[in-house]
Amino acid sequence: AIGSDVFDIYRLADILNNKGWNLNNLQFPSGIHICVTYRHKLEGVVEQFLKDVTDGVNVIMQNPQDKVSGAIAIYATSQKIHDRSIVDGIIEIYMDSCYNTTPCANSIVENVQTVSDHQKTSETKLLPLEIASVDKSCNELISTPTDLSC
């Protein structure tokens, strides 16, 4: 495992993950580790990993006090919560917010109420608009007419 008392080790994990390395984050203490497989013994893999670790550490040491951001920050922060019983709830709320589906900017939202199995339910439907533009909220090209599912 790899750890550090000088910088947030999850920053290095983020850098290495962005370079294509599949690392596992550890807690108590904070650390990262790589599962070594047969592919890692191929020529040049070890050297590339060591180079990427060295390059990552050099970048981090320019500002060693910087904190992690993004999804990795939730993982890093969760180990600092003393009441372990609330961690699952906090992560569930975070994940719900990450996967919250909001209507695309160029769509019409229609609230539809239906009755099925003796239960009244409400659902939101996206209705396509006949436009041709880039929808910035979904980051995809919308053609005419189309399904606007994000």
- Contact (CB, 8 A) for 45 and 39: yes
How many of the other CB atoms lie within 10 Å of CB of 52? 17
Taking CA atoms, 59 is separated from 37, 53, 62, 65, in Å, by 27, 10, 6, 12
Sequential pLDDT tens for the chain (150 residues): 888 889 988 899 989 989 999 888 888 888 888 888 888 889 999 999 999 999 999 999 998 888 776 666 665 565 666 666 776 777 777 677 777 666 555 555 444 444 444 455 555 454 444 443 334 444 443 333 444 444
Provide CB contacts within 8 A for 81, sequence distance 6+.
87, 90
> Do residue 91 and residue 112 come from a single domain?
no
Helices (H) and strands (E) in the chain, counts: 4, 6
> Do residue 15 and residue 77 come from a single domain?
yes
> Do residue 72 and residue 115 come from a single domain?
no
What is the count of structural domains for the chain?
2
> Do residue 45 and residue 117 come from a single domain?
no
> Do residue 138 and residue 76 come from a single domain?
no
> Do residue 70 and residue 22 come from a single domain?
yes
Q: What CATH number does residue 18 fall under?
A: 3.90.1150.10
- Provide the 8-state DSSP code for 144: S
Domain that holds residue 138: 108-142
In a domain, 149, yes or no: no
| Full-model pTM | 0.50
Q: What φ, ψ does residue 84 adopt, rounded to 5°?
A: -60, -20
> Do residue 44 and residue 64 come from a single domain?
yes
How many of the other CB atoms lie within 10 Å of CB of 131? 14
Provide CB contacts within 8 A for 70, sequence distance 6+.
14
> Do residue 122 and residue 79 come from a single domain?
no
> Do residue 57 and residue 119 come from a single domain?
no
In a domain, 1, yes or no: no
Angle at 93 between CA 25 and CA 3, to 5 degrees: 15
Q: Which two tokens mark 132?
A: 């041709």
> Do residue 82 and residue 14 come from a single domain?
yes
> Do residue 14 and residue 84 come from a single domain?
yes
